[in-house]
Structure formats: structure tokens, C-alpha cells
Amino acid sequence: MHSQSLIDYGKPLQPTDAPTPTPMGTEVLLRVSHCGVCHSDIHLQDGYFDLGGGQKLDVRSNRPMPFTLGHEIAGTVEATGPEATGVAKGKRYAAYPWIGCGKCGLCARGDEHLCNAPRALGITVHGGYATHVVVPHPRYLLDVEGIAPEIAGALMCSGLTGYSAVKKAIAYLRAGPLLIVGLGGVGMMGLQFARALTDKPIYVADIDAGKREAAVKLGAAEAFDAADAGARKAIAKASGGGAGAVIDFAGSDKSLNLAQSVVAKGGAAIVVGLIGGSFTLPVPMFPLRALTVMGSYVGSPAEAVEMLALVKAGKVAPIPVELRPLDQTSRSLDDLRAGKIVGRVVVTP
């Protein structure tokens, strides 16, 4: 098994070799064909999330080195443990990576992605920047026949995250149209799911002109420069007084300040991105504006099934994808950090 592994936090990934695992019990060995490069991997590579004001959330514990990142995984079944049933060797699947403990109340109600003792692929256990990955149970392998292989794995994070956030936003669109802030891979996927789930106009905002142009080509009604001092007024004018819901796929102090400032009364700002920083708003503004601010973190197993059904039905246009070999994973993370990626980079072990 060949991997691109994290050797130490804050350092580039390095090639590592290890014996190919033998699946035990209900485990399934997946030969990885594609693995998307996600922005959250940058934070894991750094070992922290930025909390603003010089404070950091340390996420370096309980991760043995070398460690293999990568959670947007697709591939074919190569081997199964003696208790693994329901999957076929040689068949293509995407791996649902947001695996919980399976025992707590969150897992019992179907919210494994929110489990406080997760076993998430590429997050707390070894992931897909490798030729192989071990999936603990067949129920985490989802049939992606009919879906382009280069996007199938990315749907398990960027697609699922966008879909779940848009589902939350739909309830607030009675107050006005939808605005998407941040047009990275997840924001672009969010735009496509929004087009599939609502007839309301979808506006977008980003600091990158190329990404704004790409979003308009993919169906956005109008794009705004998030760094422009006049963006708030322009969005308010275009949306008829404010957005019913704003999904912040960037998740920085600047993006959230823009997002909440253009929400109409009775609307919501939904925070998805993890760039970091801190945010304050006078307490009276919440009741006076009937403002909801909520977080949205990836999505549940049930939402993953719903999302894939939309894609298989041809209701979701693909986003731009660039394929790169496995040995370019670390460079891809650097390019993502520098904002050079439009759509998604997917490595091909």
C-alpha cells in the first residue's frame, strides 16, 4: 500500500509504504481510484483551526504518525472480511467517511457525522490519499454506478456538505432569495444543489473574479465581489431588500460579517466553512431582526443517499475537476491554500 502521509504537523506530506491491510470481521478493503482534496485537510495538516484573536483549536491529539489524510474517497472493492456482506468485489463505491461510534444517542438518531467519538476516514483513522483504505462496514459504501468516477468521492464531502446546507436554507427562502458566499469546491457544489432544490434566484459572492465568472456559467443569477465596499448595498438591491438565507462556505470573520449583514428579517446565516476567525454581533440584533445563525457540518448517512439520488437523476451539473497523480497531493494542498483551485482537485492513486 502506497500513501501520501502526514509525517509531522505543518510539514508537507511524504510518500510512505506499508503492507496492504487484510480486512477483518465486517471490514472492506477498497482500492482507491479517486480521492478529492478538501480544504479541511489543510487545517488537519496544520494541526489547528483558527479561532481568532490569536487563539487556536488544537487538533493534533489521537492521530498516530505517519497519518494518511483524505476523506473524499471512491474506488473498487478488493477484499472483504468474513462478516462483510452486501458488497461485490470489483464494483465501484464511494465511501461515506463521517463514521461515528455507533453506540451513542447521536449515532442512534442517524447523526453519525456529529458523533463525539468519531472514526472518520482521513480525519481520525487513515484515509484515501493512498492506494487502499479500510472501511469498517459495508453500510458505509454507497453505490455510485452511473456517476462520473472523478466526482464520486468528492460528493461524500463537498457534495454532501453543500446538499445538507442547502436543505437547511430552503426553509428560510420565504424571506428572500439565496446567497452563497465562498466559491471553492464546496461552494460550487452548493450552487448546483441549490439549483436542483429551489426555483428562487441564487446569488453568489467571492473575492476571486475567476470563481465568480465560473459560478455565473454554472447558473448563478448574479455574482458579487465580496471584497468590494459596495457589495452589501448591491446584494440588498439585487435581492429586493435582503437574502432569505445566506450560506457561508468560506467561514471567516469577513465572510460571516458579509453574510449576516445581508440577511433579511426572519432569515438565516448558515456557516459551513472553517477558514476561521471570530465574530460578534450585538445581542439585541438577534430578536430585532429575527435572525438565525446556525452551523452546518457535512451531512448524515441518510442525506448522503438522498444527495446521490439527485446526482444519478441528472439534476446536478458537475463542477470543474482537475485530476492529479497521488504524488502531487501535497502540492495540491498548497495550491488550495493559496486559492489557486477552481472546483476540485482529485488525486488518482
Q: Hey, what amino acid is at 67? A: F
Residue 134 pLDDT level (bands cut at 50, 70, 90) = very high
pLDDT tens across 212-226, in order?
999 999 999 999 999
Considering the domain architecture, whether residues 76 and 185 belong to the same structural domain is answered as no
Query: Of 256, 279, 295, which one is at a domain's C-terminal end?
Result: 295
Give the dihedral sign, CA 109/72/7/56.
Answer: negative
Considering the domain architecture, whether residues 27 and 101 belong to the same structural domain is answered as yes
Considering the domain architecture, whether residues 130 and 187 belong to the same structural domain is answered as no
Q: What is the domain count for the chain?
A: 2
Instruction: Return phi, psi of residue 50, to 5°.
Output: -80, 120
Indicate the range of 76-80, 108-112, 223-227, 316-320 predicted with least confidence.
316-320
Considering the domain architecture, whether residues 320 and 188 belong to the same structural domain is answered as no
Considering the domain architecture, whether residues 9 and 129 belong to the same structural domain is answered as yes
Q: Tell me, what's the pLDDT at 343? A: 86
Write down the pTM of the prediction.
Answer: 0.94
Residues 6 or more apart whose Cβ sits within 8 Å of residue 160: 298, 299, 303, 304, 307
Q: Hey, what amino acid is at 37? A: V
pLDDT tens across 192-248, in order?
999 999 999 999 999 999 999 999 999 999 999 999 999 999 999 999 999 999 999
Distance CA(116)–CA(211), nearest Å, equals 35
Residue 133 pLDDT level (bands cut at 50, 70, 90) = very high
Considering the domain architecture, whether residues 314 and 287 belong to the same structural domain is answered as no
Q: What is the CATH number of the domain that holds 27?
A: 3.90.180.10
Q: Tell me, what's the pLDDT at 319? A: 84
Considering the domain architecture, whether residues 263 and 324 belong to the same structural domain is answered as no
Considering the domain architecture, whether residues 91 and 12 belong to the same structural domain is answered as yes
- pLDDT of residue 290 exceeding 90, the answer is yes
Residue 318 pLDDT level (bands cut at 50, 70, 90) = confident
Q: Tell me, what's the pLDDT at 320? A: 87
Among all chains, which residue has been given the C-alpha cell 428579517? 265
Query: Of 254, 280, 295, which one is at a domain's C-terminal end?
Result: 295
Average pLDDT taken over every residue of the chain: 96
Give the dihedral sign, CA 233/235/236/242.
Answer: negative
Kindly state the average pLDDT of the residues 127-148. Answer: 97
Q: Tell me, what's the pLDDT at 40? A: 93
Q: Among residues of the chain, what percentage have pLDDT more than 90?
A: 96
Q: Tell me, what's the pLDDT at 206? A: 97
Q: Among residues of the chain, what percentage have pLDDT more than 70?
A: 100
Considering the domain architecture, whether residues 148 and 11 belong to the same structural domain is answered as yes
Distance CA(75)–CA(340), nearest Å, equals 27
Cα 124 → chain centroid = 16
Asked whether the beta carbons of 178 and 348 are under 8 A apart, the reply is no
pLDDT tens across 76-86, in order?
999 999 999 99
Domain containing 180 equals 159-295
C-alpha cell at 320: 470543474
Considering the domain architecture, whether residues 7 and 153 belong to the same structural domain is answered as yes
Q: What is the CATH number of the domain that holds 179?
A: 3.40.50.720
